[in-house]
């Protein structure tokens, strides 16, 4: 059995990581100092208030994302000159670097952006709905439901083209089951979380059974997928993720005002004309759909949906439409940064991105837990 050998990080890699983390700290500090300002936008038939601070944060995050994408096109086992990598990706296709850039690196970068957006948006919706910063789709069993169906497809040797649909169906079905089991003359956030944790354990045991039952060559593929990895991402995966983002994001933005009413409490929401249970179920399904879209492509990646919404909430406060978009962008930035670290930290050995998200997410989860307990 061949063991994985990890090469110590090079000084260049350590300098790159130090500079990157310093820049993140500076950006977070700067974002907290931006003043809150709004501007009215009026037309003949439309009027709204634009949050200028949120717009600046979204634009700034998008620019940082663009810089990371350009870095990702350039660095790797096969270094490519910066401007040639950019030209090959965007307009000069078919050249010397076409396969490396457009078949290996570029789809992986775009998949990281879209998957990070989906996971972070899912976590933001769940945490706002249940009023609990320790909730995410991987904690209450949504990701595990998607993983169970996907692992079943991998272990029985079914056509891999059905894997995204199986994962999507598993996540949404799990959400519905959790909702029905937690129903008792209405839904309590704490009861739903407890039911979700129980369902998560049950589904995890189902995955273990499948891993033990089927031949090792099929189990290896399923085990690799379960860790959460962007390795081998293709343009087909990108199209799956893009379709999910394009379809689900407008629905989630439509539901955010309803979600803010639900946060007032059931009685207040009913008094303001909200159909509480229908709208709560709609939010759960939409959040589950976001998580399922990402899990179907990259596996049940942990901590992104837990960490990012909490980080953004510390900066911008309660969830709004703009805050949801910002959370998605920060999730894309977080996952892309973790993937670049996974590729470069022990190069030429590439780690699954799930290893890096867990290494960063575990300590931060403990921080959230301690902070949450002190607030009680």
Tens place of pLDDT for every residue, the chain, 376 residues?
444 555 555 565 555 566 565 666 666 555 555 556 656 566 665 556 667 778 888 888 899 899 888 888 888 777 788 788 888 888 777 777 888 888 888 999 999 999 999 999 999 999 888 888 778 888 888 888 988 888 888 888 777 778 888 888 888 889 888 888 888 776 677 788 888 889 999 998 998 888 888 887 777 777 777 777 788 788 888 998 999 999 999 999 999 988 888 777 767 777 777 787 788 888 888 998 999 889 888 888 888 898 899 888 888 888 888 889 999 999 999 999 888 888 887 777 778 888 888 888 878 777 777 776 665 5
pLDDT of 227: 75
Spatial separation of the C-alpha atoms in residues 74 and 236, rounded to whole Å: 22
Spatial separation of the C-alpha atoms in residues 98 and 357, rounded to whole Å: 30
Residue 32, phi then psi, degrees to nearest 5: -70, -25
pTM, rounded to two decimals: 0.87
CATH fold group of domain 111-375: ABC transporter involved in vitamin B12 uptake, BtuC (1.10.3470)
Helix, strand, coil percentages, rounded to 5, for the chain:
75, 5, 20
Single out the residue of 53, 54, 10, 130 nearest to residue 327, CA to CA.
54
Q: Residue 50 forms beta bridges with which residues?
A: 39
180, 196 Cβ separation under 8 angstroms? no
pLDDT of 246: 94
Residue 49, phi then psi, degrees to nearest 5: -105, 125
Single out the residue of 244, 240, 228 nearest to residue 339, CA to CA.
228
Spatial separation of the C-alpha atoms in residues 335 and 355, rounded to whole Å: 12
- Max distance between CA atoms of the chain, in angstroms, equals 72
pLDDT of 110: 93
Spatial separation of the C-alpha atoms in residues 152 and 210, rounded to whole Å: 7
pLDDT of 49: 60
pLDDT of 1: 41
Spatial separation of the C-alpha atoms in residues 158 and 155, rounded to whole Å: 8
148, 170 Cβ separation under 8 angstroms? yes
pLDDT of 262: 79
pLDDT of 238: 92
pLDDT of 2: 47
**Rg of the chain, C-alpha, whole Å:** 21
pLDDT of 105: 87
pLDDT of 242: 93
Single out the residue of 63, 112, 68 nearest to residue 245, CA to CA.
112
Single out the residue of 335, 369, 353 nearest to residue 121, CA to CA.
335
């Amino acid at each position: 059995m061949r063991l994985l050998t990890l090469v110590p990080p090079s000084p260049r890699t350590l300098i790159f990581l130090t500079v990157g983390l310093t820049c993140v700290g500076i950006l977070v500090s700067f974002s907290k100092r931006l003043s809150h300002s709004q501007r009215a936008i009026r037309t003949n038939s439309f009027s709204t208030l634009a949050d200028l601070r949120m717009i600046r944060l979204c634009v700034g995050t998008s620019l940082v994302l663009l810089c990371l994408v350009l870095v990702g096109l350039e660095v790797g086992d096969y270094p490519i000159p910066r401007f040639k990598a950019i030209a090959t990706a965007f307009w000069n296709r078919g050249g010397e670097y076409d396969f490396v850039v457009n078949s290996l690196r570029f789809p992986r970068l775009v998949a990281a952006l879209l998957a990070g957006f989906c996971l972070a948006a899912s976590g933001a919706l769940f945490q706002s709905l249940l009023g609990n910063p320790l909730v995410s789709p991987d904690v209450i069993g949504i990701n595990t439901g998607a993983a169970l169906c996907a692992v079943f497809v991998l272990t029985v040797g079914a056509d891999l083209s059905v894997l995204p649909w199986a994962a999507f169906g598993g996540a949404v079905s799990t959400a519905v089951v959790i909702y029905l089991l937690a129903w008792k003359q209405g839904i309590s956030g704490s009861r739903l979380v407890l039911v979700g944790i129980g369902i998560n354990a049950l589904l995890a045991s189902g995955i273990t059974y499948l891993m033990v039952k089927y031949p090792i060559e099929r189990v290896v593929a399923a085990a690799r997928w379960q860790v959460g990895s962007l390795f081998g991402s293709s343009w087909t995966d990108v199209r799956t993720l893009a379709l999910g983002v394009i379809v689900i994001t407008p629905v989630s933005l439509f539901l955010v005002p309803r979600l803010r009413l639900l946060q007032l409490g059931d009685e207040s929401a009913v008094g303001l004309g909200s159909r509480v249970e229908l709208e709560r179920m709609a939010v759960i399904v939409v959040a589950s759909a976001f998580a399922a879209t990402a899990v179907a492509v990259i596996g049940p990646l942990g901590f992104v949906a837990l960490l990012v919404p909490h980080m953004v909430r510390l900066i911008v406060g309660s969830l709004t439409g703009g805050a949801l978009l910002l959370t998605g962008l920060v999730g894309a930035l977080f996952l892309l940064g973790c993937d670049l670290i996974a590729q470069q930290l022990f190069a030429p050995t590439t780690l699954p991105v799930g290893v890096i998200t867990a290494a960063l997410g575990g300590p931060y989860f403990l921080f959230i837990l301690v902070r949450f307990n002190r607030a009680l």
